[in-house]
A and B are shown apart, each in its own frame.
Chain A
Amino acid sequence: MSLAGLEFAFFFPVVFLLYWLGPHRASWQNAVLMLASAVFYATWDMSLLAVLAGAMVVSFGAGLALGAPSLEEGPAADDTTVRRRRRAILAVAIGAELGLLGVFKYAGFFAGSLNALLSAAGLPDMLPVLRLALPLGISYTTLIQVGYLLEVYWRRTPACRDPLAYATFVAFFPQLLAGPIVRAPGMLRQYGAARLLSPDVLASGAGAFLLGFAMKAFVADWLSPRVVDPVFANPAAYTAGTLWLSLLGYATQLFCDFAGYSLMAIGTGRMFGLELPENFRYPFLSKSLAEFWRRWHISLNTWLFDYLFAPLTTGRSWFRGRAGAGFLVVFLVSGLWHGATWTFVLWGLAHGVALAIHHTYDLWYKGRCRKDRRYVAWRKAGPYVLASWAVTQLFFLLTLIPFRAPDLSAASAFATGLLGFGGQSGLAERFGLQAAACVLFMLFFHLLEVGRGPALKQGFLALPAPLRGIVYGLILAFLMVYVPVGASTFIYAQF
């Protein structure tokens, strides 16, 4: 089952009614959500439910041990033995979580790569290559649980003592497939108290869900089979213009697929009185790569920043104060997190190197600003801003080639084709109204965030409810006519 699938239209009302019509208690609400999450998970793979449950038992137990009164803050908290014991508990628990992810997601990749290396040196294969089924959402649930363990270890959040609340926090079904990656401080508080049904929150949740569904089903799923998939399957056959069009189409598809899913998850959460974290904030307006990563997949990037980059570059190791080296590490991890293939490693490396270069340039430019204030003014001027925006977006676009290509040779064929060394084919069909609607949608979506856009949006939301209802109704009718029922799966669910 997926949030955009037909089954969900039957599943959601049942869960919604059970949730709100039952006793108004946190335990009842969490129990309904946990049961619904188990059913949701089981529709994908029943047998792997045990893996998720096992991982939750480990991190919940470790959280309790870290937060045990004997190891908590107090006169003994700074005692060396206590510190060592807490560190050991953390290391074992994080080791178990990452070990599980490693076995399911990376064992095959590393064994295959080692064997390929040995084979190139004329030696026989050394390791068997495991091809295990990846448990649904394991990349997301692992990060959620590792983040929780670090928060408890650093004593920034108390250990959760309610197993039902903890399990729901980790495996709440809207976030299971593709995030957002929730954080303990913001979410455990919400699961600890009974939620209230409010018409405003319900309307806002339904609106977010509808917008997300439109992005996924109308834009992403329309573009994928027509503009993206055929070209990426055989890039050498297409003209440079077609390849550029396909790359732009893929950027739009990826954004609408993933941001759409995130909005559907956030909207679903809101309809249960829960506020999941924001995941996208108009990334195509970014004027630097650092800004881009603060706007794209926000929950992953803030996770990597807070739990990897910040400890690495503020700790006592060689990385202290070396942001460039920190970027390289973080984006190599991000690349591998996205998938156990060399194309994702290349994608992560490209972003890490680019961020390190930009950081060095930024330091140099700030040096100029200190000496001559005209540099400050130039940086705020239109041409500089426009050039920064164009370079940032072009770089992101080009790095989508290894992100989408099935292997390095296909990525290389696509890249050379963009320069005019490709084939002669164009896209099979001419596009009319729906293609224009996709482009206009993306433009309006981002333009509503600049200039007078936010005021216009507020103006629409302030319209009388019946008028807004008519607009929403027209959108629904439009989607029902044009959107194929049974949308495909989400790109980020594979990670």
Chain B
Amino acid sequence: MDRSGMRQLLIDWLDDNYHFGEADSKIGSDDASFLDNGILDSLGFVALVVYLEDSFHITIDRKNLNRENFNSVNKILDYVVLRTGGAA
């Protein structure tokens, strides 16, 4: 799966669980902070981690798992692409 496919999966998950059709417009920029812009709360982050690990068959390293560096569409995609080698 390429990056844009991964992005769509992420947006679909946000729509299904938090924003119901408004995720893309709420995010605005792919660099926008999820926490600062009310895209996800801390519980949402935990659910997202489980979703990403299960969907892409990866293990998210605790080193990377904090609010600062796992906090926007681009940061999340960068990490998933790195771990999957760009394919899921």
A340-394: which have CB < 8 Å to B? 366, 369-370, 373, 376
Q: Closest residue to A306 on the B side, CB-wise?
A: B66
**With known contacts A310-B46, A313-B46, A321-B50, A154–B62 Cβ distance under 8 A:** yes
Inter-subunit contact B42/A302 (CB<8 Å): yes
**With known contacts A294-B42, A305-B42, A323–B63 Cβ distance under 8 A:** no
Is chain A's interface secondary structure helix, strand, loop, or mixed overall? helix
B49 at the interface (CB under 8 A from A): yes
In Å, the complex CA distance between A294 and B50 comes to 21
A156 at the interface (CB under 8 A from B): yes
B47 at the interface (CB under 8 A from A): yes
Inter-subunit contact A156/B20 (CB<8 Å): no
B82 at the interface (CB under 8 A from A): no
Inter-subunit contact A290/B49 (CB<8 Å): no
Inter-subunit contact A294/B46 (CB<8 Å): no
Inter-subunit contact A376/B20 (CB<8 Å): yes
How many whole Å from A328's CB to the nearest CB in chain B?
Answer: 15
For A313, the chain B residues whose CB sits under 8 A away are 46, 50
Q: How many A-B residue pairs have CB under 8 A?
A: 41
B21 at the interface (CB under 8 A from A): yes
In Å, the complex CA distance between A154 and B46 comes to 17
B24 at the interface (CB under 8 A from A): no
Place the interface of chain A in its size category.
20 to 34
In Å, the complex CA distance between A294 and B45 comes to 14
B16 at the interface (CB under 8 A from A): yes
Render B12-28 as a binary contact track against A, CB cut-off 8 A, 1 for contact: 00001100110000000
How many whole Å from B1's CB to the nearest CB in chain A?
Answer: 22
Render A290-303 as a binary contact track against B, CB cut-off 8 A, 1 for contact: 10001000000010
By CB atoms of chain A within 10 A, which of B41, B45, B49, B62 has the most?
B62
Inter-subunit contact B43/A156 (CB<8 Å): no
Inter-subunit contact A314/B16 (CB<8 Å): no
In Å, the complex CA distance between A306 and B60 comes to 15
A309 at the interface (CB under 8 A from B): yes
Q: Closest residue to A291 on the B side, CB-wise?
A: B41
For B88, the chain A residues whose CB sits under 8 A away are none
For B17, the chain A residues whose CB sits under 8 A away are 366
**With known contacts A310-B65, A366-B17, A290–B43 Cβ distance under 8 A:** yes
Inter-subunit contact B49/A314 (CB<8 Å): yes
In Å, the complex CA distance between A376 and B17 comes to 11
For A321, the chain B residues whose CB sits under 8 A away are 47, 50
How many whole Å from A369's CB to the nearest CB in chain B?
Answer: 5
A87 at the interface (CB under 8 A from B): no
In Å, the complex CA distance between A313 and B65 comes to 13
Render A119-161 as a binary contact track against B, CB cut-off 8 A, 1 for contact: 0000000000000000000000000000000000011100000
Q: Can you list 18 A-B pairs with a CB-CB distance of less than 8 A?
A: A154-B62, A156-B63, A305-B42, A309-B46, A310-B49, A310-B65, A313-B50, A314-B46, A314-B49, A314-B50, A314-B65, A321-B50, A323-B43, A366-B17, A370-B16, A370-B20, A373-B20, A373-B21
